[in-house]
Chain A
Amino acid sequence: MRGGSPQGPNRGPQPEGLYSGEPMGQKTREMTIGICIIIVGVIFLIMSGSIPATPALFPRLMSVVAILLGVLQSAAALTLPADRAEQDQSSRSMVVFLEILGVIVLHIILLSTAGFVVANLVLTLGLFLVLGYRRWAPMSVAAVGVTMLLYLVFRIALGIPLPTGILL
């Protein structure tokens, strides 16, 4: 009996590593894993072609293992029953994730142009909005508070030169 099964009255968040199969979209998911790891393996195998023998040995070996595992995984995926129609839920979290990424990319760009203070205010406010918060007063307090805290800890206490732009 390995680790029991998470089937108590309270499941809570799905703990990492305790994957239990669920029918929705399973075949697609398993297939995606298989194909992705094959692609990664092939890329590393091709790239290691231009490397001399000794330093290439380990990566080559590993990419072959990756490809083999990918083939096994895809073969196992083929035996699964076809998926039922996918539900909409996953696309919603995908949108939120892309929005988070967008805000972080904007943050990186602002860091090297406008400096830390502006970039961090934009980052925090942007994320509050993206994550679904709409009350402006607590939001602004939190954004200014987090920025001040980070500035105090990293710039003043730890002496790390945060990027400066037009402001600070």
Chain B
Amino acid sequence: MGSLLSNIALGFQVILQPHVFLVLAGGVLLGLIVGVIPGLNDTITISILIPITFAMEPIVGLAMLVGIYCAACYGGSFASILVGIPGTASSVVTTQDGYPMARKGLAGQALSISTASSVFGGVFSTLVLMFAAPWLAEQALRFGPAEYFALAVFGLSTIAGMGGDSVLRSLISGVLGLLIATIGMSPQVGYPRFYFGNPNLLDGIPFIPALIGLFGITSVMGMANSGSNTQAGTGKVNQIGSFRLERTLIRRLLPIWIICAALGTFIGIVPGAGMIMAVYLAYEIARRRTPGLEFGTGVPEGVAAPEAANNSVVGGSMVPLLSLGVPGNSTSALFLGALMIHGLRPGPMLFMEQPQIAYGILAAFFLGNILMGGMGLLVARFMSGLLLSIPQPLLGGAVVAFCAVGAYSMGNNIFNIWIMLIFGVLGFAMNKLRLPVSPMILAMVLGTMAETSLQQALVISRGSYSIFYTRPIALVLLVVSAWFFLMPIAKIFVQRMRSRQLQSAAK
């Protein structure tokens, strides 16, 4: 415990250096800005900016990305409240009560509630992250290849639940990612596979350019369809009103904050669940808890619940990544990419060998959430009108230009722009076919991890598969994976049976 606290202190020391702190604040500001602008979000921005962080000192670049990740979903609520258009997908639910509040002249209060809830959720989940991640990492020190294989399988098993209603779609997206992961040299023997005679592919598909294509290029499509400048001024709120939060209101919202922050943190930690699920569940819980209130007409609880939940997913989602090296959602997969370009691997060794980075990231999350609250209201008050009036086509053009240069700069190779383009096409096609992209991204990461550790484990056990069921941790992880994998499938069958029963009962 003592060493944990001193390590956390070290993390704060690292982040409180003036240049790191400034960059963190810059990241928070950027996160707020991209959050406000519909069409841009944290994933897109982080994928575009990872190439820039490559040239920075690792912790400086990571602090910037942490700032963006913290602040983006909070910034998204400004657009939800002020114009009734969610700035990010995670603030869709906030629109339901935030916008009606603003229409009643309570925009200021709604923004303050969003701020307080977001900071509460963010700080809550950061505290969990701060103590859970180092502990989990310590447990993971005992892991060998067999356990890492089981861990990768566990990560993959959560894919089944990722696509919401359609398990099959998620699995298809996942297997596509696993196949993509096999491109390049094979682990252990280093035999070149599926590289189409192109030496650029020997190291596998370049991850960052692929993500830039999947997120950046695909996002521009939305900006074409929305036409130029449609949203600004349409549903604008004239009266902002007071920003004050009365103590009675705070006392009223406190239980909701605690419940929703705990829920969001938990959903964040479980790989594959995601922010969207957290905000809908939080809203639902708040509604059931306060039956006397008419949700959807502008009740404070309707803003507080989703806003506390989405910011707490952020901290939670970093737990499996930092401690085990297993990303739980697409944004934490991006952090994995950002660490890897500096030659850093998240997991137990990061906490042992590079404590200033591991604990620095934890401290950055904490300070980022605090900064976010202070800067947020300023952005909401003075910048959101301006940001919402930027014509979408201009934004789209700038995004693609950033994407192209960013992809190129990963190794100064024009080939990477082609990769970006190909994955942009893939992302567009998947979007059209309504295939979720996140399972594929997780599988691209976990596929390599699974294959490498499988081969290593089999070398250790001289080819015997018994290594996976004689080692307790590996066995438990594999059993839990089977449960995670089968549960959504079983649920579908139960639902089908039920609906059949209902149908026959109706007849």
Contact = CB atoms under 8 A, between A and B. Distances in A.
A17 B86 contact: no
Contacts of B450: 58
A124 B398 contact: yes
Contact of A73 (B38, B52, B168, B424): B168
Nearest to B90: A15
B194 A47 contact: yes
Interface stretch (B12-20, B359-367, B387-395): B387-395
Contacts of A63: 179
Given A10-B96, A142-B397, A146-B397, A120 B85 contact: no
Contact of A6 (B92, B220, B396): B92
A44 B394 contact: no
Contacts of A147: 401
A76 B85 CA distance: 36
Contacts of B228: 132-133
Contacts, number: 247
A44 B405 contact: no
Contacts of A104: 217, 400, 404, 417, 421, 424
Contact of A20 (B165, B222, B421): B165
Interface string B377-412: 000000000000001111011101110110011001
A40 B92 contact: no
Q: How would you classify the secondary structure of chain B's contact residues: helix, strand, loop or mixed?
A: helix
A44 B195 CA distance: 11
Interface residues of A, number: 85
B93 to A, nearest CB: 7
Interface stretch (B29-37, B257-265, B276-284, B317-325): B276-284
B405 A100 contact: no
A10 B95 contact: yes
A107 B412 contact: no
Interface string A125-142: 101101111000011001
A131 B179 contact: no
- Of B283, B405, B418, B435, the most chain A CB neighbours within 10 A belong to B405
Contact of A19 (B54, B95, B164, B455): B164
8 contacts: A17-B274, A29-B433, A58-B451, A73-B172, A103-B400, A150-B402, A153-B52, A158-B55
Closest 3 CB pairs of A and B: A4-B280, A55-B186, A131-B393
